[in-house]
Amino acid sequence: MSWPSMVAALVVPLLCALVYVVWIPHGNAGRGAWFATKIWVLAYPLFFFGLIGLGGLVRRESRAVNWPSWRAVIFTGVLSGLGIVLVGWLMVLTPIGQIVRDNSPNLIEKAEGLGFATKERFLMVAIFITVLHSAMEEYYWRWFVYGHLRQMVGHWSGHLLAALAFTGHHLVLMSVLFPLSLALFLSLLVGLGGLIWTRMYQRQGTVLGCWLSHLIVYAFLMVVGYRLILMS
């Protein structure tokens, strides 16, 4: 994979987030930009499919490695997800949680702009984000982006670059919803999550555990979002 192609993989999600979060955040244009981002995440890796194949996605990367058992992969994924949720729940009980609640009008405005501020639509979006979007992010950021980066710059530099890019588009969203200091702090936590999941992928040879962990974290965030948007 060439560096221009990798730069596109790292930067385009950030640029798309700027479009639908900052530049045209409301109405059909904002929703269209958000949808186009998901198309990019799904389609762009397919252009490079022949370089890495299905290894790590629907099967282990290599049969020559003594990978952890599938039971261990599932257990680690669930346990890590619950551990991250526990940290998040404890944060809700601190002054950070109060700052988030104080800024719930920003979240409500964003939900209304994207058209999911009703219970029915929020539920549909929550299911999509929890189950499918988490899978898409693992497919894109761990399997595709990190999978290529480690071949280009090595494992540890690949971990850092993938986590940094994964953090970027989340920072755009956080900066619109929360004060800058809190946005930076929450984005740092996103980056740490990215590091955890790339490390899991590297050690397990599959995105299954990462996806289960990510799914659990998103489920928690959707519960928090529901309370902030529809119960405030």
Residue 196 lies in a domain: yes
Residue 63 lies in a domain: no
Residue 165 lies in a domain: yes
Q: What is the mean pLDDT of residues 192-201?
A: 94
Total domain count, the chain: 1
Residue 155 lies in a domain: yes
Containing structural domain, residue 77: 70-230
**Contact status, residue 16 vs residue 33, Cβ threshold 8 Å:** yes
Nearest alpha-carbon partner for 48 in 13, 8, 93: 8
pLDDT of residue 146: 94
Distance from C-alpha of 15 to C-alpha of 184, rounded to nearest angstrom: 18
Residue 44 lies in a domain: no
Interval 133-185: pLDDT, tens: 999 999 999 999 998 999 899 989 999 999 999 999 899 989 988 888 999 99
Interval 36-64: pLDDT, tens: 888 999 999 988 876 666 566 656 666 65
Distance from C-alpha of 152 to C-alpha of 130, rounded to nearest angstrom: 31
Residue 28 lies in a domain: no
pLDDT of residue 23: 85
Per DSSP, the three-state class of 205 is coil
Distance from C-alpha of 108 to C-alpha of 117, rounded to nearest angstrom: 7
Residue 17 lies in a domain: no
